[in-house]
Amino acid sequence: MKKKAITVDCPNCHRSIVWGDEYPERPFCSKRCKDSDFIDWANEQKTIPGSPSYDDIFSEGDPDLY
């Protein structure tokens, strides 16, 4: 039985990666992209009125989280 590799595009840099243990940060190609995307996401959240601000999330968060 032939196993078909599933590929996904990294949401940050849009590089195609194989969905598997080779990329533990999937759907991101690397931890670097994963962290970068999160920062973008946090910045976007900051611009939405009525949402918890970036500062609130990080000033009140558990410091051991990172």
Positions touching Zn ion (CB under 5 A) are 10, 12-13, 29, 33
Give min distance, CB of 35 to Zn ion, in A.
11
Neighbours of 10 (CB within 10 A): 19
Give min distance, CB of 24 to Zn ion, in A.
13
* Tokens, residue 39: 């920062």
Give min distance, CB of 11 to Zn ion, in A.
8
